[in-house]
Amino acid sequence: MLTIVAAVEKEVFLFLDFLKNPKTFPLGKRQFYQGKLFKQEVVIAITGIGVVNATYTLTLLAEYLSLDFVFLTGCAGAFPQTGLNIGDIAIATTEIWAEAGAYTDSGWHSLEEINLPLHQQDKKQFYNVFEVPKTAKKIFPLISNFLPKGVGYKKGPFLTVSATTGNQERLYILKRRFPEAICENMEGAAVAQICTIYNLPWFECRGISNLTGEYDKNKWNINLATKHSQLMLINIIEEIGLWKP
């Protein structure tokens, strides 16, 4: 079954409109939507904001349903000088736990630097970084075919944070620590880690709602960001069938 995961309803409203024969069902403390998008049987999960909500919700699905592929969507804040503008789409190549590690007198050290893996699988240890699996990377060369008209995109590492970056000091710290990162969000690394634990291929795209480094919600456009991200995923789901392993 294809799974679509997002933090809030605004990030899946188009999917719900397109869903055929929709029904809801409970698992744990969550309600889920199920139906068909084109020829694909899908379940849609609205997790709530943050990594705990995302972890809880996706774990419920992975434990009780037979999942084949996970799409994570929503909005994100882009880092300046990445070429991403509000309304553009960011595609994750990796998800990074931006704050996990150790703060010492010599500065911040990653989980790998302090030898504290988050997960081990087939003798491979996972620290801060979870890479998009090969199955999902097959979508990368086709992205331009699925973009809404006039919308730009960029692939790169995503950072998962617990607090949005609304000042220049915090922005400088993150860009110095992760110079290749293109945007930040609040759920992605949790979803990537759970998918890794359950051997689920995952693909993440997010519409850019704002630029980081300034906290001025008057300059945000969440509606545009979430609309564009959903339109692209709808095009992908309609056109290509790689959701069975």
The upper half-sphere exposure of residue 116, i.e. CA atoms within 13 Å in the direction of its Cβ, equals 9
**β-bridge pairing 202-211 and 89-97:** antiparallel
Q: Which of 70-100 are b and which e, b meaning 16 or more Cβ less than 10 Å from the residue's Cβ?
A: bbbbbbbbbbeebebebbbbbbbbbbbbbbb
Residue 109, C-beta contacts closer than 8 angstroms, at least 6 positions apart: 101, 102, 103
In this prediction the pTM is 0.95
Render pLDDT for 177-193 as a digit per residue (tens, 0 to 9): 999 999 999 999 999 99
Flag residues of the chain having pLDDT under 50: 243, 245
Pairwise CA distance, residues 189 & 55, whole Å: 9
Residue 244: how many CB atoms within 10 A of its CB? 8
Pairwise CA distance, residues 225 & 44, whole Å: 19
pLDDT of residue 242: 52
pLDDT of residue 241: 61
Angle made by CA atoms 135, 74, 232, in degrees to the nearest 5: 60
Render pLDDT for 59-94 as a digit per residue (tens, 0 to 9): 999 999 999 999 999 999 999 999 999 999 999 999
pLDDT of residue 122: 87
In terms of Cβ atoms closer than 10 Å to its own Cβ (0-12, 13-18, 19+), residue 26 is: exposed
Angle made by CA atoms 229, 16, 93, in degrees to the nearest 5: 30
Is residue 191 a contact partner of residue 57, using CB atoms and an 8 Å limit? no
Reported as type and span, the H/E element at residue 44 is strand 40-46
Tell me, what amino acid is at 189? A
pLDDT of residue 245: 43
